[in-house]
Amino acid sequence: MPKMSMTMEFGTLVEWLVDVGGQVRNGDAIAVVTTDKVDMEVESVVDGTLEEVLAEPGDEVPVGQPIAYLMSEAEDLLGDLFAGAPEPEVAAAPAAEAAPAVAAAAPVAVAGDSTERPRVVPLARRLAAEAGIDLHEVTPSGPGLTIRARDVRDAIAARQAAPAAPAAAPAATAAPVQSAPAPTEPGALLGDAKTRRMRIATAKVMDATAVIPQFTAYRVLDLSRLAKARKASLQGVSWTSILVRAYAMVLREYPQLNGFWTSQGVQGNAHVGVSLAVDTPTGLLAPVLADPDKVTLRELDRQVRELAVAARNGQITSAQLSGGTGTVSNLGGMGVDRFNALLTPPQSTALSLGAVATRPVFSEDGGVAPQVCCEVGLTIDHRTADGADAARALQTMQEFLEDPFLLLA
């Protein structure tokens, strides 16, 4: 089982993409593994033959434990599978010796075929067939111009983004028949396998957060000055991007809130990583924006939009889910004004964003004036900080938002 992220300890095998006895080539995919809520293709680092499978779909396997045996004449059978982690010394295997392997795929070239066929990993071929994609029109990115699953997903996304041609009306049309949803059998598990894996991964995080002493401080943020700047120099930038940047600036200002709790005290982080909660068809994903206070606001806005699209299309990598030091969750677009965001261990804070709206506000003299505002909730780990710390952080966030030049700096 390869290490696909710095925090990965286990991986769950989803499916094998090649049968035992199949020939494999360096860079081909052999299996799909899920970790951190993301399905990842596992690729071979050598040429050879898949001799034996040790893990079955659904098995949870620790990093470093064999999932299959590969027969190969290559000297380096492990390549960089454990990059980023302490790498054990591995003796070179003799020629044609069976050794632990993690990737393979059957070659697609057909002997005697006069027409050159593209090299395709099995998962990519299946995705293309399901979506009706011509593989000759897909741009390969794998070794030896091999078409990988991500190439097919990119082609599907490009086709969906293109304007659809109007279809010719048939001579006679029958009224569409809508079938009623199949009734759920008593005791049956809901959702497909991927959705259930997502719920299980989320449950593991929530089980851990349940033992953390945490509370939420709420505040209505005045966005009136910023709203004027947004119509001018910040035109087109989303409120989510603006508030993510302000939150990142607060985490940078208060190292205590950007750190995490250990048995010896609060350990700081040298970077700021904002996990952005994204609602996807299979459940919640929280890809990470690295140091969002160190890029321009427009660049951050581009990253936020691209990350959200990638998450919804299932194109987030395991690495993009690592490095978060705080989380932003936004339900304002669904009409929610206020909610409590739970912590994601080991992070010490989570920021909830309600709807941005213009509301009547009373002034000190009793007058009423419109104000663009948003109610936010800052949840903190009580072991790393106190209520007064949360209040000061929200006050600082308000000060940042009242000065558009600070956000643009």
Residue that is written with structure tokens 């109610």 in the block: 375
d(CA 234, CA 217): 29
Question: What are the residues whose beta carbons fall under 8 Å from the beta carbon of 275, sequence distance 6 or more?
Answer: 286, 287, 288, 289, 321, 324, 326, 327, 328, 344, 347
- Torsion, CA 185, CA 190, CA 193, CA 198, rounded to 10: -170
382 is catalytic: yes
Let me know if 381 is exposed, middle or buried by CB neighbors in 10 A (0-12, 13-18, 19+): buried
Of 248, 238, 317, 258, nearest in space to 289 by CA: 248
Q: Where are the alpha helices (DSSP H) in 162-238?
A: 193-209, 224-231
Q: Which sign does the torsion angle of CA 353, 358, 359, 363 carry?
A: positive
Contact status, residue 26 vs residue 44, Cβ threshold 8 Å: yes
- Active-site option among 199, 294, 298, 382: 382
Sequential DSSP letters for 68-106: EEEEE--S-SSTTTTTTSPPPP-PPPPTTEEEEE-----
Tokens encoding 159: 């086709």
Closest CA to 319 of 43, 63, 4, 62: 4
Lookup: tokens for 379: 């949840």
Residue (of 102, 86, 91) closest to 17 by Cα position: 102
Residues classed as catalytic: 382
